[in-house]
Amino acid sequence: MVDVSLDNLDAVVAQCVGAISDASSLDSLLSLEAEMVGKRSPFTALQKSLGSLSPDERKSAGAQLQAARQRVEEAFATRRTSLAAEHRIAVLEADRLDLGDVVSARVRVPVRAGHPGIISLTQESLEDTFVGMGFVVADGPEIETDWYNFEALNIPPAHPARGMWDTFYLDIGEPETVLLRTHTSPTQIHLMEEAVAQGTLPLHAVMPGRCYRRDTPDARHLASFHQIEGLVVDEGITFADLAGTIETFTRAFFGPDITSRLRPAYFPFTEPSAEFEITCTICRGAGCRTCSQTGWIELGGCGMVDPAVFAAVGIDTDRYSGFAFGFGIDRCAQMRHGIADMRAITENDVRFLELFS
């Protein structure tokens, strides 16, 4: 450091302030401090030399020197505060736990996210198709009474037609009065009762849901399966409306090269009744093992709502007529995706589940 005299005080202060603000650590600041304003510093030496001056000169030189020294000391204080702050930040930075690394390491592990299964997907797209045709979607309970599942549907107790549905009964109340619904048709009854009570007829609804039958599972049947029911109750509804609805749905859902046909059948709750079949989607109608060489696959049942059913819910048959249909959602999924064995649906083999994401 240059010698300090009263003549170069300003220049020396400027030099000191520059060096102080360049100091990069608290340690180097400490040694600068000793060097510039410590006991053996030129400032101190100059101060000591003031003793030889006359009292007046000493007074003014002393004040000058004091002011210069103060500016240097202020520069030290400022720099010390900012170096201390930088030091604190550096310590915090070093201490910081970088969760970003931890998180991205975890995310890199392949995540096997779940997704709706093939039956839910099929149900959703069936609903979409019918909504596009002007139907609303409704649902009903899986646990039913004998009245909703059978009696109101024109199947009295001990009627031979009950043999069409192998029923799981629940051990609640009187024997054989509470059961797991064997089809979605009881939801028709709930909907019609509600519409009559609230005066909201006509009805154009589809009702998807789970059903149960005491069946031994095989390649085409499960004891727990899904149906979608359709019901239209309005003025002037005819069998042509039913046939047109089935055909429109078939082409919309399966594609324009798949068609439908109705064949006479019997259901207690519809009259006349029909089975509805669609072109086999495996062979496109040419005939194969799946369709027993017929080119057709049975999808479900349908017909005009039987007057006895309208009577059970109090609908005036002079004014209203209607049609209903019901078919298997699982069967639709099987037909659309060529699933050879339906038991794959309940086995939860991830390799199967992943096919339909």
Which residues contact ligand PHE by CB under 6 A? 183, 185, 229, 267, 270, 273, 300-303, 324-326
Residue closer to ligand PHE by CB (options 209, 301) is 301
| 158 torsion bin: left (phi>0), alpha (psi -120 to 50), beta (else) | left
3-state SS, residue 118: helix
Q: Alpha-carbon torsion 36, 39, 42, 46, what sign? A: positive
- Shortest distance (Å) from residue 150 CB to ligand PHE: 11
Which residues have CB under 8 Å from 194's CB, separation 6+? 200
Interior angle at CA 234, CA 230 and CA 239, nearest 5: 65
Q: How far is the CB of 233 from ligand PHE (least distance, A)?
A: 13
Closest alpha carbon to 343 in 226, 218, 214: 218
Encoded tokens for 244 = 């047109």
Nearer to ligand PHE, 33 or 306 (CB): 306
Least Å distance, CB 216 to ligand PHE, is 18
Give the residue with the Cβ less far from ligand PHE, 32 or 324: 324
Residue among 54 and 216 whose Cβ is closer to ligand PHE: 216
Nearest distance from C-beta of residue 222 to ligand PHE, angstroms: 14
Strand (E) or helix (H) holding 266: strand 260-267
- Alpha helices by DSSP H, the chain: 9-22, 26-37, 42-49, 55-95, 99-107, 118-132, 146-149, 185-198, 239-254, 307-313, 329-337, 344-347, 350-353
Calpha distance 292→235 (Å, rounded): 40
For 280-298, give the DSSP string. -TTTTTS--TTTTTSSEEE
Compare residues 154 and 270 and give the one whose CB is closer to ligand PHE. Answer: 270
**Minimum distance from CB of 273 to ligand PHE (Å)?**
6
Q: How far is the CB of 246 from ligand PHE (least distance, A)?
A: 11
Nearer to ligand PHE, 212 or 254 (CB): 212
For ligand PHE, the closer CB: 188 or 279: 188
Query: Measured from the CB of residue 230, what is the shortest distance to ligand PHE in angstroms?
Result: 7
